[in-house]
Structure 1
Amino acid sequence: MTDKSLTFTIRPLDPLKDAELLHGWVTHPKAAFWMMRDARLEDVERAYMEIAADPHHHALLGLDDAGTPVFLMEKYDPAHRELVGLYEPRPGDVGMHFLVAPADTPVHGFTRAVITAVMAHLFEDPEARRVVVEPDVANKAVHALNEAVGFVPEREIRKPEKKALLSFCTRERFTEATAVPA
Structure 2
Amino acid sequence: MVFFGALLALLGLVTLAFRDADVLGVPPLGLGIGLLVIGAASIGLGFLRRAQARRRRVARGEPEPIGNVFDRARALPRLLRAARKDGYQGLPKGRMALWGFALVYLVSPIDVIPELLPILGVTDDAGVAVWLLSSVSAATGVYLRWEKDRKGQTQLPPT
| TM-score normalised by length of structure 2 | 0.27
Q: Which has the larger radius of gyration?
A: 2
User: Relative contact order: is structure 1 or structure 2 higher (C-alpha 8 Å, sep ≥ 6)?
Assistant: 2
Higher helix share: 2
Higher strand share: 1
